[in-house]
Amino acid sequence: MISALQLSSRSVAFWQWWTAELIDLWAIVVGAVAPGWRTEIAVAITPGNLKFVMGGHTVLEVPRIKLNAGWSAEEKGKIEGLLQQCKSIRLDYPAAEAFRYRGVMPLAVSSYLLNAIALQLPKWMPLKAGALLTDYRVIRRDVDAGTIEIEVAALKRAEVEWLVAQVRSLGFRIKRIGLMDADDRDRMFSFSVGKTAQLRPSANRAERLLLAAAAVLGCAILVSGAIEGFRSHRTLALTTQTTHMAASEAAVRRQEVIERIEPLQVLSTLEASPSSSELILQLSQLVPDDSWLTTFERRDRQIRIVGLSPDAAGIVKRVATSALLSEVSLRSSMSAGIGTGLDRFEIAAEFKSASP
């Protein structure tokens, strides 16, 4: 059975290496997607020289003393060329210039590991903590023995800050300060300028693999969610398209039915409406023998009648009695000529609407 203390220490340790390595993992992902974003220049610091390395090749090597002295035209040209390609610098100090301590602490201090190490630094290091840039890494946790094995590394603050200031004066940006050591191939130590004791928990290889597996699982979940979202969106789009097509087809069918019904409605209206021949027959019966019709026009329901009669007003009264007409009115009346005794009249009327 795992005790509450052990469970707590493991949880704290997990979140420590998770937060510490997440940035590095993101840098790896960015490097795979956009390698140009992670381009950096490594400056290998030796006891006498600075080697500017890019892409595995040394592009410039100058003595440390050059940082205080002037630069030659060739060296200035190379520096400007490096700045155009990349402004990020990684400083790699040799392991011989670092103070290092490796020891064991109780597992119970895992929750307060940073403070515990800071309190022990005066015992482990030859200089005061304020004069050092410090980092540590966790090598192994032994739950059964109740111990945690750590390694602490430190650099002289004054020397590092001077070198950082000189490099920054050239226009470069310090991205990382680490140790160049065969035992630190993954560059687990990382120092930061501007803090009294910069301590960052570092993970061993097994923990980094576990972190990578967790990140891959998270990416897989995100990709799976994205795929499912795409499928859902696609299904919704297909359903909408199918529904739209069905609705469009129904609308076309409806229009076809309407187009077929309209002629039938018109025909029904014509059948229900009085015919022109029926009206002419009725008008011929209403007009007396001394009057004549000369023009009969029909436009839909509008009727225009022109004729000659000695009594135009009487003709209007007779036409108004027709059961087929309504709105009968005398539009005009004038003499047909001197000595004829007849008037030329024009009557306007409307066919009565058919009964429903």
**Percent of the chain whose predicted confidence (pLDDT) is above 90:** 1
Integer Rg of the chain from CA: 52
User: What SS3 class is residue 144?
Assistant: coil
State yes or no: pLDDT of 25 exceeds 80.
Answer: no
Distance of CA 347 to the CA centre of its chain: 75
Q: Residue 348: its pLDDT value, please?
A: 92
Q: pLDDT (tens digit, 9 = 90+) per residue, 129-153? A: 888 888 888 888 888 888 889 999 9
State yes or no: pLDDT of 83 exceeds 60.
Answer: yes
If one compares 122 and 340, the residue with the highest pLDDT of the two is 122
Q: pLDDT (tens digit, 9 = 90+) per residue, 28-75? A: 665 565 554 556 788 888 877 888 887 778 888 877 766 666 677 777
Q: pLDDT (tens digit, 9 = 90+) per residue, 85-94? A: 777 888 888 8
The mean predicted confidence, pLDDT, of the chain is 77
Q: pLDDT (tens digit, 9 = 90+) per residue, 249-265? A: 777 788 877 777 766 66
Flag the least confident range among 13-22, 121-130, 213-222, 337-346: 13-22
DSSP, residue by residue, 293-324: EEEEEEETTEEEEEEEES-HHHHHHHHHT-TT
If one compares 161 and 87, the residue with the highest pLDDT of the two is 161
Cβ-contact 90, 42 below 8 angstroms: yes
Phi-psi region of 176 (alpha: psi -120 to 50; beta: other; left: phi over 0): beta
Q: Mean pLDDT over residues 236-243, rounded?
A: 80
For residue 203, with 0-12 CB atoms within 10 Å meaning exposed, 13-18 middle and 19 or more buried, which class applies? buried
Rounded Cα–Cα distance for residues 267 and 221 (Å)? 69
Domains of the chain in sequence order? 10-219 (3.30.420), 276-351 (3.30.1360.100)
**Alpha-carbon distance values, 68 to 90, 163, 176, 249 (Å):** 20, 10, 22, 84
Question: What predicted TM-score, i.e. pTM, was given to this entire model?
Answer: 0.45
Sheet holding 292-299, edge to edge: 292-299, 302-309, 343-351, 325-335
